[in-house]
Amino acid sequence: MLVLGIETTCDETAAAVVRRHDDGTGEILSNVVLSQAAHAAYGGVVPEIAARAHVEVLDMVVAKAMVEARLGFGHLDGIAAAAGPGLIGGVIVGLTTAKAIALVAEKPLVAVNHLEAHALTARLTDNVAFPYCLFLASGGHTQIVAVLDVGDYVRLGTTLDDALGEAFDKTAKVLGLPYPGGPEVEFEATRGDVRRFHLPRPMVGRPEPDFSLSGLKTALRLEAERNVPLTEQDVSDLCAAFQDAVIEIVTDRLGVGLRLFRERFGAPTALVIAGGVAANQSIRDAIDRMAFSVDTPLVAPPAPLCTDNGAIIAWAGAERLARGLTDTLEASPRARWPLERATSADGTPPSGAAPLDAQ
Protein backbone atom coordinates (compact mmCIF):
# COMPACT_ATOMS: atom_id res chain seq x y z
CA MET A 1 0.00 0.00 0.00
CA LEU A 2 1.52 3.32 -1.11
CA VAL A 3 0.45 6.55 0.56
CA LEU A 4 1.44 10.19 0.09
CA GLY A 5 1.42 12.20 3.32
CA ILE A 6 1.29 15.99 3.66
CA GLU A 7 2.18 17.92 6.84
CA THR A 8 1.51 21.66 7.23
CA THR A 9 0.14 22.06 10.79
CA CYS A 10 2.99 24.24 12.08
CA ASP A 11 6.18 25.60 10.50
CA GLU A 12 7.36 22.56 8.54
CA THR A 13 6.14 22.12 4.97
CA ALA A 14 6.54 18.41 4.41
CA ALA A 15 5.52 15.59 2.07
CA ALA A 16 6.52 11.94 1.95
CA VAL A 17 5.64 8.61 0.41
CA VAL A 18 5.57 5.46 2.53
CA ARG A 19 4.80 1.86 1.74
CA ARG A 20 2.90 -0.37 4.17
CA HIS A 21 3.45 -4.06 3.56
CA ASP A 22 0.72 -6.62 4.18
CA ASP A 23 2.55 -7.87 7.29
CA GLY A 24 2.21 -4.41 8.85
CA THR A 25 5.81 -3.30 8.38
CA GLY A 26 6.60 0.01 6.75
CA GLU A 27 9.15 1.61 4.49
CA ILE A 28 9.84 5.27 3.73
CA LEU A 29 10.31 5.91 0.01
CA SER A 30 10.80 9.67 0.32
CA ASN A 31 10.57 12.26 3.08
CA VAL A 32 10.95 15.93 2.13
CA VAL A 33 10.88 18.48 4.97
CA LEU A 34 11.25 22.22 4.47
CA SER A 35 11.53 24.11 7.77
CA GLN A 36 10.42 27.72 7.55
CA ALA A 37 13.34 29.91 8.55
CA ALA A 38 11.34 33.17 8.55
CA HIS A 39 10.03 32.67 12.10
CA ALA A 40 13.44 32.79 13.76
CA ALA A 41 13.43 36.60 13.57
CA TYR A 42 10.22 36.68 15.64
CA GLY A 43 11.27 34.10 18.25
CA GLY A 44 8.26 31.92 17.48
CA VAL A 45 5.91 30.79 14.74
CA VAL A 46 3.83 33.58 13.15
CA PRO A 47 0.65 31.87 11.84
CA GLU A 48 0.05 34.18 8.85
CA ILE A 49 3.66 33.90 7.69
CA ALA A 50 3.49 30.12 8.10
CA ALA A 51 0.30 29.78 6.06
CA ARG A 52 1.63 31.91 3.23
CA ALA A 53 4.94 30.03 3.17
CA HIS A 54 3.09 26.69 2.97
CA VAL A 55 1.14 27.97 -0.06
CA GLU A 56 4.35 29.04 -1.77
CA VAL A 57 6.30 25.82 -1.43
CA LEU A 58 3.90 22.90 -0.88
CA ASP A 59 3.48 22.06 -4.60
CA MET A 60 7.23 21.85 -4.99
CA VAL A 61 7.67 19.78 -1.81
CA VAL A 62 5.00 17.30 -2.96
CA ALA A 63 6.55 17.07 -6.44
CA LYS A 64 9.98 16.40 -4.90
CA ALA A 65 8.57 13.66 -2.66
CA MET A 66 6.97 11.97 -5.70
CA VAL A 67 10.14 12.23 -7.79
CA GLU A 68 12.33 10.83 -5.00
CA ALA A 69 9.89 7.93 -4.56
CA ARG A 70 9.94 7.47 -8.38
CA LEU A 71 6.17 7.37 -8.50
CA GLY A 72 3.27 9.15 -10.14
CA PHE A 73 0.01 9.96 -8.33
CA GLY A 74 -1.59 7.06 -10.24
CA HIS A 75 0.61 4.56 -8.37
CA LEU A 76 -0.67 5.66 -4.95
CA ASP A 77 -3.36 3.92 -2.90
CA GLY A 78 -4.27 6.98 -0.87
CA ILE A 79 -3.55 10.63 -0.12
CA ALA A 80 -3.16 11.60 3.54
CA ALA A 81 -2.90 15.06 5.05
CA ALA A 82 -2.70 16.28 8.62
CA ALA A 83 -6.16 17.81 9.12
CA GLY A 84 -5.30 19.15 12.59
CA PRO A 85 -4.71 20.00 15.35
CA GLY A 86 -2.55 22.97 14.40
CA LEU A 87 -2.43 26.47 12.99
CA ILE A 88 -5.58 26.59 10.93
CA GLY A 89 -4.18 28.52 7.94
CA GLY A 90 -1.50 25.94 7.35
CA VAL A 91 -3.85 23.01 7.95
CA ILE A 92 -6.22 24.40 5.28
CA VAL A 93 -3.35 24.60 2.76
CA GLY A 94 -2.25 20.99 3.31
CA LEU A 95 -5.70 19.45 3.47
CA THR A 96 -6.95 21.35 0.42
CA THR A 97 -3.90 20.27 -1.57
CA ALA A 98 -4.47 16.64 -0.56
CA LYS A 99 -8.14 16.87 -1.54
CA ALA A 100 -7.20 18.28 -4.96
CA ILE A 101 -4.74 15.45 -5.60
CA ALA A 102 -7.23 12.83 -4.33
CA LEU A 103 -9.95 14.24 -6.57
CA VAL A 104 -7.84 14.42 -9.71
CA ALA A 105 -6.04 11.09 -9.20
CA GLU A 106 -9.27 9.41 -8.02
CA LYS A 107 -7.68 8.13 -4.83
CA PRO A 108 -9.11 7.92 -1.31
CA LEU A 109 -8.40 10.79 1.08
CA VAL A 110 -7.32 10.19 4.67
CA ALA A 111 -7.64 13.16 7.03
CA VAL A 112 -5.02 12.38 9.66
CA ASN A 113 -4.87 13.64 13.23
CA HIS A 114 -1.35 15.03 13.68
CA LEU A 115 -1.15 13.58 17.20
CA GLU A 116 -2.18 10.16 15.92
CA ALA A 117 0.67 10.39 13.41
CA HIS A 118 3.16 10.93 16.26
CA ALA A 119 1.45 8.12 18.20
CA LEU A 120 1.82 5.56 15.38
CA THR A 121 5.37 6.45 14.25
CA ALA A 122 6.92 3.64 16.34
CA ARG A 123 4.96 1.11 14.28
CA LEU A 124 6.57 2.48 11.11
CA THR A 125 10.09 2.43 12.55
CA ASP A 126 9.94 -0.57 14.91
CA ASN A 127 6.72 -2.43 14.12
CA VAL A 128 5.64 -2.08 17.78
CA ALA A 129 2.57 -4.13 18.74
CA PHE A 130 -0.43 -2.72 20.64
CA PRO A 131 -0.96 -1.81 23.43
CA TYR A 132 1.88 0.58 24.22
CA CYS A 133 2.43 3.65 26.31
CA LEU A 134 3.20 6.84 24.41
CA PHE A 135 4.98 9.91 25.70
CA LEU A 136 4.26 12.70 23.24
CA ALA A 137 6.25 15.85 23.91
CA SER A 138 6.26 18.55 21.24
CA GLY A 139 5.90 22.30 20.95
CA GLY A 140 2.15 22.15 21.40
CA HIS A 141 1.53 18.93 23.33
CA THR A 142 2.73 17.03 26.37
CA GLN A 143 0.76 13.86 26.94
CA ILE A 144 1.06 10.33 28.24
CA VAL A 145 -1.29 8.17 26.19
CA ALA A 146 -2.33 4.52 26.20
CA VAL A 147 -2.24 3.50 22.52
CA LEU A 148 -4.61 0.52 22.42
CA ASP A 149 -5.21 0.26 18.68
CA VAL A 150 -5.39 2.43 15.56
CA GLY A 151 -7.99 5.03 16.52
CA ASP A 152 -8.23 3.87 20.14
CA TYR A 153 -6.33 6.14 22.51
CA VAL A 154 -6.76 6.90 26.19
CA ARG A 155 -5.02 9.92 27.59
CA LEU A 156 -3.49 9.18 31.00
CA GLY A 157 -1.76 12.48 31.66
CA THR A 158 -1.28 15.92 30.16
CA THR A 159 0.21 19.33 30.91
CA LEU A 160 -1.82 21.73 32.98
CA ASP A 161 -0.14 24.74 31.38
CA ASP A 162 2.81 24.92 28.94
CA ALA A 163 3.92 22.14 26.60
CA LEU A 164 7.42 20.80 27.17
CA GLY A 165 8.75 22.02 23.81
CA GLU A 166 7.19 25.40 24.50
CA ALA A 167 9.07 25.53 27.82
CA PHE A 168 12.33 24.82 25.92
CA ASP A 169 11.47 27.54 23.40
CA LYS A 170 10.64 30.09 26.11
CA THR A 171 13.80 29.23 28.02
CA ALA A 172 15.82 29.83 24.87
CA LYS A 173 14.09 33.16 24.31
CA VAL A 174 14.78 34.36 27.88
CA LEU A 175 18.45 33.41 27.44
CA GLY A 176 18.78 35.08 24.04
CA LEU A 177 19.08 31.83 22.08
CA PRO A 178 17.43 31.43 18.65
CA TYR A 179 14.14 29.69 17.86
CA PRO A 180 13.43 26.74 17.94
CA GLY A 181 14.95 26.59 21.38
CA GLY A 182 15.06 22.85 22.07
CA PRO A 183 18.23 21.98 20.16
CA GLU A 184 19.93 25.22 21.33
CA VAL A 185 19.20 24.55 25.00
CA GLU A 186 20.34 20.95 24.60
CA PHE A 187 23.63 22.06 23.07
CA GLU A 188 24.26 24.76 25.70
CA ALA A 189 23.47 22.28 28.48
CA THR A 190 26.39 20.09 27.39
CA ARG A 191 28.76 22.95 28.31
CA GLY A 192 26.98 23.92 31.53
CA ASP A 193 27.49 23.14 35.21
CA VAL A 194 24.37 21.36 36.33
CA ARG A 195 25.05 22.06 40.04
CA ARG A 196 25.25 25.86 39.92
CA PHE A 197 21.52 26.64 39.83
CA HIS A 198 18.72 24.60 41.31
CA LEU A 199 15.33 24.99 39.65
CA PRO A 200 12.01 23.60 40.95
CA ARG A 201 10.51 20.30 39.77
CA PRO A 202 6.74 20.95 39.77
CA MET A 203 4.40 17.92 40.16
CA VAL A 204 7.19 15.47 41.02
CA GLY A 205 5.83 12.88 43.43
CA ARG A 206 2.18 13.57 42.61
CA PRO A 207 -0.02 10.45 42.10
CA GLU A 208 -1.54 11.51 38.76
CA PRO A 209 0.81 11.60 35.73
CA ASP A 210 0.25 15.25 34.78
CA PHE A 211 2.78 17.98 34.07
CA SER A 212 3.07 21.64 35.00
CA LEU A 213 5.90 23.67 33.55
CA SER A 214 5.04 27.32 34.11
CA GLY A 215 6.61 27.39 37.61
CA LEU A 216 9.87 26.03 36.22
CA LYS A 217 9.79 28.55 33.40
CA THR A 218 9.22 31.44 35.84
CA ALA A 219 11.98 30.24 38.18
CA LEU A 220 14.38 30.13 35.25
CA ARG A 221 13.42 33.65 34.16
CA LEU A 222 13.93 35.02 37.68
CA GLU A 223 17.30 33.30 37.97
CA ALA A 224 18.31 34.76 34.60
CA GLU A 225 17.19 38.25 35.65
CA ARG A 226 19.24 38.00 38.85
CA ASN A 227 22.35 37.37 36.77
CA VAL A 228 22.12 40.00 34.03
CA PRO A 229 24.18 40.67 32.00
CA LEU A 230 24.42 36.97 31.26
CA THR A 231 27.79 35.55 30.28
CA GLU A 232 28.07 32.57 27.94
CA GLN A 233 28.79 30.42 30.99
CA ASP A 234 25.66 31.72 32.77
CA VAL A 235 23.56 30.74 29.74
CA SER A 236 25.10 27.26 29.60
CA ASP A 237 24.68 26.72 33.35
CA LEU A 238 21.04 27.84 33.24
CA CYS A 239 20.37 25.51 30.28
CA ALA A 240 21.97 22.62 32.18
CA ALA A 241 19.84 23.38 35.25
CA PHE A 242 16.68 23.64 33.15
CA GLN A 243 17.32 20.39 31.29
CA ASP A 244 18.18 18.63 34.54
CA ALA A 245 14.86 19.72 36.06
CA VAL A 246 13.00 18.59 32.92
CA ILE A 247 14.67 15.18 33.04
CA GLU A 248 13.68 14.63 36.67
CA ILE A 249 10.11 15.78 35.98
CA VAL A 250 9.75 13.64 32.86
CA THR A 251 11.14 10.43 34.36
CA ASP A 252 9.03 10.82 37.52
CA ARG A 253 5.84 11.53 35.56
CA LEU A 254 6.48 8.65 33.14
CA GLY A 255 7.07 6.30 36.05
CA VAL A 256 3.63 7.18 37.37
CA GLY A 257 2.12 6.97 33.88
CA LEU A 258 3.51 3.46 33.33
CA ARG A 259 2.16 2.32 36.69
CA LEU A 260 -1.27 3.66 35.80
CA PHE A 261 -1.08 2.00 32.38
CA ARG A 262 -0.34 -1.39 34.01
CA GLU A 263 -3.26 -1.03 36.43
CA ARG A 264 -5.73 -0.21 33.67
CA PHE A 265 -4.52 -2.12 30.60
CA GLY A 266 -1.88 -4.64 31.74
CA ALA A 267 1.78 -4.52 30.74
CA PRO A 268 2.52 -2.31 27.72
CA THR A 269 4.66 -3.82 24.95
CA ALA A 270 6.85 -0.70 25.11
CA LEU A 271 7.22 2.88 26.16
CA VAL A 272 7.32 4.93 22.96
CA ILE A 273 8.51 8.52 22.77
CA ALA A 274 7.52 10.97 20.04
CA GLY A 275 7.39 14.69 19.31
CA GLY A 276 10.21 17.20 18.92
CA VAL A 277 11.37 17.00 22.54
CA ALA A 278 12.00 13.28 22.05
CA ALA A 279 14.85 14.34 19.78
CA ASN A 280 16.76 15.43 22.92
CA GLN A 281 19.49 12.86 23.57
CA SER A 282 19.82 13.49 27.32
CA ILE A 283 16.07 13.13 27.79
CA ARG A 284 16.06 9.96 25.67
CA ASP A 285 18.91 8.47 27.73
CA ALA A 286 17.20 9.28 31.05
CA ILE A 287 13.88 7.81 29.88
CA ASP A 288 15.73 4.73 28.64
CA ARG A 289 17.23 4.13 32.11
CA MET A 290 13.87 4.68 33.82
CA ALA A 291 12.03 2.32 31.43
CA PHE A 292 14.72 -0.33 31.85
CA SER A 293 14.31 -0.16 35.64
CA VAL A 294 10.62 -1.07 35.29
CA ASP A 295 11.21 -3.78 32.66
CA THR A 296 9.64 -1.84 29.81
CA PRO A 297 11.51 -1.59 26.52
CA LEU A 298 11.91 1.96 25.21
CA VAL A 299 11.23 2.60 21.56
CA ALA A 300 12.57 5.96 20.40
CA PRO A 301 12.16 6.59 16.67
CA PRO A 302 15.14 8.35 15.04
CA ALA A 303 15.15 12.07 15.86
CA PRO A 304 14.13 13.27 12.33
CA LEU A 305 10.97 11.15 12.64
CA CYS A 306 10.21 12.53 16.12
CA THR A 307 9.88 16.08 14.80
CA ASP A 308 7.20 17.01 12.27
CA ASN A 309 7.48 15.41 8.83
CA GLY A 310 5.34 13.92 6.07
CA ALA A 311 6.32 10.27 6.58
CA ILE A 312 4.49 10.03 9.90
CA ILE A 313 1.36 11.48 8.29
CA ALA A 314 1.62 9.07 5.34
CA TRP A 315 2.13 6.18 7.75
CA ALA A 316 -0.91 7.08 9.89
CA GLY A 317 -2.82 7.36 6.60
CA ALA A 318 -1.64 3.89 5.57
CA GLU A 319 -2.59 2.39 8.93
CA ARG A 320 -6.08 3.86 8.63
CA LEU A 321 -6.41 2.89 4.97
CA ALA A 322 -5.43 -0.70 5.84
CA ARG A 323 -8.47 -0.76 8.14
CA GLY A 324 -10.77 0.78 5.55
CA LEU A 325 -10.87 4.15 7.33
CA THR A 326 -11.08 6.88 4.72
CA ASP A 327 -12.59 10.37 4.64
CA THR A 328 -14.73 12.25 2.18
CA LEU A 329 -13.71 15.42 0.41
CA GLU A 330 -15.91 17.20 2.97
CA ALA A 331 -13.38 16.54 5.78
CA SER A 332 -12.81 19.72 7.75
CA PRO A 333 -9.51 21.26 8.83
CA ARG A 334 -9.40 21.59 12.62
CA ALA A 335 -7.39 23.86 14.88
CA ARG A 336 -8.27 21.59 17.82
CA TRP A 337 -8.69 17.84 17.60
CA PRO A 338 -8.13 15.73 20.73
CA LEU A 339 -6.37 12.44 20.08
CA GLU A 340 -9.10 10.49 21.83
CA ARG A 341 -11.47 11.58 19.11
CA ALA A 342 -9.13 10.56 16.30
CA THR A 343 -11.32 7.72 15.11
CA SER A 344 -12.79 9.78 12.35
CA ALA A 345 -12.40 13.27 10.99
CA ASP A 346 -16.01 14.06 11.93
CA GLY A 347 -15.04 13.64 15.58
CA THR A 348 -16.81 10.40 16.50
CA PRO A 349 -15.04 9.08 19.59
CA PRO A 350 -14.02 5.43 19.75
CA SER A 351 -16.22 3.29 21.95
CA GLY A 352 -15.37 3.40 25.62
CA ALA A 353 -13.20 6.50 25.45
CA ALA A 354 -13.98 9.28 27.86
CA PRO A 355 -15.01 12.40 25.96
CA LEU A 356 -12.73 15.35 26.46
CA ASP A 357 -13.49 19.00 25.91
CA ALA A 358 -10.04 20.18 25.09
CA GLN A 359 -6.70 18.83 23.98
Contact residues toward ligand KG4 (CB under 6 A) are 10, 138-140, 165-166, 168-169, 180-183, 186, 275-277, 279-280, 307-308
| Residues between 90 and 109 with contacts to Zn ion, criterion CB under 5 A | none
- Nearer to ligand KG4 by Cβ, of 186 and 327: the residue is 186
Cβ distance 50 to 90 under 8 Å? Answer: yes
Can you say how many angstroms the Cα of residue 195 is from the centroid of all Cα atoms in its chain?
A: 31
Residue 204 burial (C-beta neighbours within 10 Å; 0-12, 13-18, 19+): middle
Q: Least CB distance from residue 170 to ligand KG4, whole Å?
A: 9
Torsion of CA 26, 27, 32, 38, to 10 degrees: 40
Q: Least CB distance from residue 352 to ligand KG4, whole Å?
A: 27
Partner in contact with 301, chosen from ligand KG4, Zn ion, none, beta carbon below 5 to 8 Å by kind: none
- Nearer to ligand KG4 by Cβ, of 31 and 307: the residue is 307
Cis peptide before 180 (omega within 30 of 0): yes
- Nearer to ligand KG4 by Cβ, of 236 and 307: the residue is 307
# of chain residues touching Zn ion (CB under 5 A): 2
C-alpha span between 113 and 120 (Å, rounded): 11
Q: Least CB distance from residue 169 to ligand KG4, whole Å?
A: 5
Asked if 11 interacts with Zn ion (CB under 5 A), we say: no
C-alpha span between 317 and 125 (Å, rounded): 15
Q: Least CB distance from residue 109 to Zn ion, whole Å?
A: 21
Asked if 138 interacts with Zn ion (CB under 5 A), we say: yes
C-alpha span between 142 and 136 (Å, rounded): 6
Using DSSP, state whether 138 is helix, strand or coil: coil
- Nearer to ligand KG4 by Cβ, of 190 and 233: the residue is 190
- Nearer to ligand KG4 by Cβ, of 26 and 140: the residue is 140
Partner in contact with 255, chosen from ligand KG4, Zn ion, none, beta carbon below 5 to 8 Å by kind: none
Q: Least CB distance from residue 11 to ligand KG4, whole Å?
A: 8
End-to-end CA distance of the chain: 31
Q: Least CB distance from residue 280 to ligand KG4, whole Å?
A: 3
- Helix ranges, the chain (H): 47-69, 88-105, 114-126, 164-174, 181-190, 214-226, 232-265, 281-293, 303-306, 310-322
Asked if 343 interacts with Zn ion (CB under 5 A), we say: no
* DSSP symbols for 198-267: ----TTTT-SS--B--HHHHHHHHHHHHHTPSPPHHHHHHHHHHHHHHHHHHHHHHHHHHHHHHHHHH--
C-alpha span between 174 and 63 (Å, rounded): 39
- Nearer to Zn ion by Cβ, of 26 and 139: the residue is 139
One residue of 7, 152, 244, 308 binding Zn ion per CB under 5 A:
308
Q: Least CB distance from residue 86 to ligand KG4, whole Å?
A: 7
- Nearer to Zn ion by Cβ, of 138 and 159: the residue is 138
- Nearer to ligand KG4 by Cβ, of 109 and 137: the residue is 137
Asked if 184 interacts with Zn ion (CB under 5 A), we say: no
Task: Point out which residues bind Zn ion (CB under 5 A).
Answer: 138, 308
